[in-house]
Amino acid sequence: MLEQIKAQLDRQVPVHRVVDLSVRARELGQAPPVEREVALVKVVGNGDQRQEALRLADAFDAKVVDASIEHFLFELTGKVSKVDQFIAIMRPLGLVEICRTGPASMNRGPQGM
């Protein structure tokens, strides 16, 4: 399945090259690649829900990038699983909108691709 995805991506413009970083890391004898995702998460609420959203955002190291008396807009960076967990926790607190970049990865070590 991965080979089919790589072949399809190679046909897309302007993709210049597709590399499976997990395979490349194994070839170089390195640890698995570093993977991160950025998400913007809008939460609407008041009273105790606002305080709980702020408390949980702090626990996840999410930054408040916009706020009003009605909403918070959080920026969160981390592993995909961390972003998924943050979103799941915010749903009952008034989650109204999500924007995610998708994962970005880079192999460890001094070599470039």
CA 26 – CA 39 distance, rounded (Å): 29
Residues 39 and 22 placed together within one structural domain of the fold: no
Give pLDDT tens digits for 70-105. Answer: 999 999 999 999 999 999 999 999 999 999 998 999
Residues 49 and 96 placed together within one structural domain of the fold: yes
Give pLDDT tens digits for 41-56. Answer: 999 988 899 999 999 9
Which residues form the domain of 16? 1-32
54 contact partners, CB below 8 Å, separation of at least 6: 64, 72
Residues 45 and 83 placed together within one structural domain of the fold: yes
Which amino acid makes up residue 99?
Answer: C
Residue 110 within a domain: no
Residues 53 and 22 placed together within one structural domain of the fold: no
Residues 16 and 42 placed together within one structural domain of the fold: no
Residues 67 and 89 placed together within one structural domain of the fold: yes
